[in-house]
Amino acid sequence: MKINGYNYDISMVGTGKPTWLFLHGFLGSKNDFAKIVPRGTCVYVTTYGFTATDKQVPATGFEYQNQITDLVKILDNLKIDQVNLVGYSMGARLALSFAIDNPTRIKHLFLESGTAGIADVDARIARQQADELKAKQIEANGLIPFVNHWETIPLFNSQQNVSKSAKVFMHQQRIQHNPTNMANSLRYFGTGMMPNWWKSLATMAVPTTLITGELDKKFTNLNNQMTELLPHVHHISIPNTGHNVHFEKPDKFTSILNKENNDEN
């Protein structure tokens, strides 16, 4: 689907209600959620600049306002009024931004290993500088050395427990992207560049489910803090699981989506 000059890669699976919209994480694609097929109609979107065949795209397209505008147009073109919106990591940050700007388009918000941004100004600047350094490393050396290091950081330790074929799939997906696009994603929509949404959480009327892996202490703690502020929220922490819950425990993740939707109804 061509939106504002960019060709989005979108898949739809299933029929009926509810309608789900899935947003992947950094270095991912719509294929991240291939094993996540809850009841209803599922729409899987590869977000701006993350399609494997992409050439270099305009950097400002990664800004959250532009990505949200495109997502609204995608839903409009598909004639979808409301969705259960599911976002993982970077996709969770985009999903939260979408829900805050367009609450009437969301029936239920599911944030997997997400954050509401960085409130402290100095910490925001430090994160921007750290992401700029990563961006320059990607541009200078390419994605393969960056991904090789990325896969060894403690945040992803528990992913060593998945099957060999799953690890190969994830690695190949991470290295197939356009390096300049990945660098600009960090620059224009890294955690230090997204809005500070902490101050907006208390007024969110959208029912929200937060999903984290118990082994991911950082994001479990962040989501505990978000739980204290969100008025309509359920935080689910999955034992023996790390940052990427849907990758490590796809059946459990799918059952959570179905149950939370059923409970709401």
For the segment 230-250, the average pLDDT, to the nearest whole number, is: 96
- Would residue 23 count as lying in a domain? yes
Report the percentage of the chain scoring pLDDT > 70.
99
Please tell me the distance from the alpha carbon of residue 187 to that of residue 134, in angstroms, as a whole number.
9
Which tokens is 257 given?
């989506």
Contact 93, 191 (CB under 8 A): yes
Three-state secondary structure call for residue 39: coil
CATH number at residue 67: 3.40.50.1820
Alpha carbon of 191 to those of 54, 125, 148, 149, 254: distances in Å?
23, 10, 21, 19, 27
Parent domain of 242: 2-118+195-264
Can you give the pLDDT at residue 176?
Answer: 95
The answer to whether residue 34 scores a pLDDT higher than 80 is: yes
Put simply, whether the predicted model's pTM sits higher than 0.75 gets the answer yes
CA 263 to the chain's CA centroid: 24
Please tell me the distance from the alpha carbon of residue 5 to that of residue 57, in angstroms, as a whole number.
10
The answer to whether residue 151 scores a pLDDT higher than 80 is: yes
The secondary structure element, H or E, covering residue 13 is strand 9-14
For the segment 47-68, the average pLDDT, to the nearest whole number, is: 96
Q: How many structural domains are present in the chain?
A: 1
- Would residue 178 count as lying in a domain? no
Report the percentage of the chain scoring pLDDT > 90.
90
Dihedrals φ, ψ of 224, to 5°?
A: -65, -40
List pLDDT tens digits, range 84-100: 999 999 999 999 999 99
- Would residue 131 count as lying in a domain? no
The answer to whether residue 233 scores a pLDDT higher than 60 is: yes
- Would residue 158 count as lying in a domain? no
The answer to whether residue 265 scores a pLDDT higher than 60 is: no
- Would residue 209 count as lying in a domain? yes
Contact 260, 110 (CB under 8 A): yes
